[in-house]
Structure 1
């Protein structure tokens, strides 16, 4: 068997550990290389370039597998395709990446800007950071939809994109900067269970709620990390290797199980995509977040 194929087979499905002893793994690798070099000596005239004997190839593959298994990805420098066999590891890496991201909070009168790539084109959203200012959404066809802010318990009523003069309705502010969510994975999972849009046990619905929070809301780093940490607790997760988001960016993917009433012959699970090198959230196979930031006015871009 070709040794590179053997190594690929041994490492392709091995998840990365959250912590590991890289030093001892390296020592075992070097020892195996040394042993291979002494136990499998072949006369020079019979050697073939880049060839090991069977036992040596198997031993070396095992040693390399040990390094892949024990060493965290940031220490080994491997492409994260080795980690996608375990969706929990991918989501925990995504949580760690979110925790390290900059987290400067917006001012109350600012707006959270998000541009997403969707099947019908690009969508732009300007959401009020504290929920009291009037935001807007620009659809792929260029049409604008107002998002009334909620001030003193009242919000402007619109007909189409035109405000009805003097007509308001009761409301509750919906801030785009979410400081009201748990910053702990266990507490976040409990929150999602208590507030998700589907019936009990519908983890597909919970997945959609997680995406809604991840896409067009601005979350403090600890809250965003808790969101992905909570996602890792969903049963029935599956990792998808070599996938792309809606913008064509490659990454590693995670899917939720379908809902209890979904027909598997018709319904297709959403693939949540993370960057293959940084584990930062990119979007899904149907909606990709291509730009985001904080601006001073609705209509501005970062």
Structure 2
């Protein structure tokens, strides 16, 4: 094939620039911190893009966005996202449903972590894995295969560990706030999360849903719908923390006060448990975030992200995020698992 030579006046497109530039060096950052940086950059791109542009970056906190990623060696396995029938949500039973969820959370007996102990949360997860062809600028959306994720967090939030086989370096990575990679360029990078989501801080909150909601509204980092951001923050806290019973009840009551929150029947978590969900649709991305609860006990099961409106090539009903909490416990040391032979 004979290519037409370019004149100096013809600008190079993104794909050609990518081929001309040398490959960037491998990133020294742990994969978890790298993903936060990528997510932040993608949020910036999406915020400045016109409303009609496809949503290339999404807000949910642990979403794996593989768009021109360099450095590290994450598992690149991916599968077609499941597609489900989109069930419309309703506010008809919102008040009564949240009352039952909050009552169940407030009555739950949870262990109290002491000094030197760690909160352990074990989940099955699958997140979005988007990729873009540098030559064609064409993208395709996949999801990660369902896999195990374990986190350990100190009650004060200063220490932690993440083990996600196949998606983090072998053995896991530190989540310590004073780790060298936790402050790139001397600035702490939170990925847009809440200022405080550790056990000690949450336990000290008054049982006032409005005050807690005011705090959540105050921590957004971009111009997205502040109601959606607050709802996603609640879902993120609930998903990987051991909540004091009173705080859990307050969080759910706060969620019910967010405009746009509805009840969805028949939502299913990552391991197939079907329940009832508190959900909210992100009008900008077309994705509905769902927090799923057991129909009988009203205990938290997991979460799901479902594309409700067509966005780019992602059709309605596509499940682009799934989680299921399998175990929460208090252990005596980082990387220790519950049980007699719990050493990691």
User: TM-score, structure 1 length as denominator?
Assistant: 0.59
In structure 1, the residue matched to 2:329 is: 293
* Paired positions, count: 203
Structure-2 change in CA distance of 1:231 and 1:157 (3 Å): same
Contact 1:256 1:269 in 2 (8 A): yes
Q: Could you tell me whether the CA contact under 8 Å between 1:126 and 1:136 is conserved in 2?
A: yes
Higher helix share: 1
Secondary structure of the equivalent of 1:269?
strand
Task: Select which of 91, 97, 103 maps to 1:90.
Answer: 97
Q: Is the 8 A contact 1:115 1:122 kept in 2?
A: yes
**Cα offset, 1:294, TM superposition:** 0.6
Q: How does 1:30-69 map to 2 (within 5 A)?
A: none
**What is the 5 A alignment of 1:215-254?**
215-254=239-278
TM superposition shift of 1:194: 2.1
* Structure 2 residue corresponding to 1:272, chosen from 286, 291, 304: 291
State the alpha-carbon separation in 1 of the partners of residues 254 and 233 from structure 2.
12
Deviation at 1:181, TM superposition (A): 3.3
The structural deviation recorded for 1:180 is 4.0
Deviations 1:40-87 (A, max 9, x none): xxxxxxxxxxxxxxxxxxxxxxxxxxxxxxxxxxxxxxxxxxx98412
> Which residue of the partner structure matches residue 128 of structure 1?
154
**Cα separation, 1, equivalents of 2:165 and 2:230:** 27
Structure 2 residue aligned with 1:107: 114
* Aligned-partner Cα distance in 1 for 2:247–2:234: 12
Could you tell me how far apart the structure 2 residues matched to 1:174 and 1:93 are? 24
Equivalents in 1 of 2:222, 2:104: separation in Å? 29
Cα distance per residue 1:222-262 (max 9 Å; x no partner): 11110000001111222211221111111111211314x32
8 Å Cα contact 1:99/1:225 also seen in 2: yes
Mapped contact 1:203–1:256 kept (Cα < 8 A):
no
RMSD: 3.0
Aligned partner of 1:149 in structure 2 is: 176
Larger Rg: 1
Measured after TM superposition, the shift of residue 201 of structure 1 is: 4.4
Give the distance between the partners of 2:208 and 2:259, measured in 1 at CA.
19
In the alignment, the residues of structure 1 paired with residue 220 and residue 104 of structure 2 have an alpha-carbon distance, to the nearest angstrom, of: 25
In structure 2, C-alpha distance between the alignment counterparts of 1:193 and 1:110, rounded to whole Å: 31
CA contact (8 A) 1:84 1:252 kept: no
> Any conservation in 2 of the 1:131–1:175 contact (CA below 8 Å)?
yes
Contact preservation (8 Å) 2:112, 2:330 = no
Structure 2: any 5+ residue segments left out of the alignment? 1-89, 127-144, 189-194, 305-321, 339-344
Larger relative contact order (CA 8 Å, sep ≥ 6): 2
Q: Distance in 1 between the 2:271 and 2:229 partners?
A: 24
Q: Distance in 2 between matches of 1:95 and 1:231?
A: 11
Query: Is 1:210 aligned to residue 234 of structure 2?
Result: yes
Q: C-alpha distance in 2, partners of 1:237/1:158?
A: 37
